Amino acid sequence: MNNNQQRGSNINRNYNTDFYNKYILTNQGNKTDNFIQRHSSPASDVMVKNVLKDQFSLNYTDYEKLKLADQYNQLYVNSLTDTEKLNKTIEDKKFYNMSLKLLISNASNVYIQLINELSNYFTYNNEKSLNQIGYILTKGENLIYIGLLVVIIAFSMWLIDVTS
């Protein structure tokens, strides 16, 4: 067996390699032989199967991928709606979005809590510092309601001054 016959038999035996596919595509000697060889190789069989495959048929891995994507989308939508609801409830609890009735109710609760904390501080605390009083006054929404109380007191004093 000479070198040319040995190379030809290797090409025919190794028809699954990329070299064989490149050899068939670049060999333009006889177009009918190339057409027959291209359509009879396993690589071309895969191409024909892919072309003939119904676009709506799914195998198991495609089905799993679609289900996983669907679950991801559902989780994403749920997280967006939950985040939106949480943001709405937080926004409704803001000082400037409250009704007058709710504002007065919250203010009374804050003032009672503030008086309790200040009375505990002055009666039971042996190590008094200005820093602790500042923390009690600015904790949570106390500062907003203290400011509201100061505005109400200032308005009432102005009203008394104007009417006298």
d(CA 60, CA 66): 10
Contact 142, 110 (CB under 8 A): yes
Q: For residue 83, how many other CB atoms are within 10 A of its CB? A: 10
d(CA 1, CA 43): 28
Q: Which residues contact 16 (CB under 8 A, 6 or more apart)?
A: 42, 43
Say yes or no to pLDDT of 128 above 80. Answer: yes
Say yes or no to pLDDT of 57 above 70. Answer: no
Say yes or no to pLDDT of 30 above 50. Answer: no
The whole-number pLDDT of residue 18 equals 55
Q: Model confidence over 61-104: pLDDT tens digits?
A: 878 888 888 899 999 999 999 999 999 888 887 878 888 898 89
Q: Kindly state the tokens that stand for 134.
A: 């500042």
d(CA 158, CA 150): 12
d(CA 140, CA 39): 77
Q: Model confidence over 136-152: pLDDT tens digits?
A: 999 988 999 999 999 99
Confidence (pTM): 0.47
Say yes or no to pLDDT of 135 above 70. Answer: yes
- The more confidently predicted of residues 112 and 51 is 112
- 25 pLDDT band, cuts 50/70/90, is low
d(CA 141, CA 95): 9
Q: Kindly state the tokens that stand for 93.
A: 């609890």
Q: Model confidence over 35-54: pLDDT tens digits?
A: 444 445 554 444 445 544 55
Q: What is the CA radius of gyration of the chain?
A: 41
Say yes or no to pLDDT of 15 above 60. Answer: no
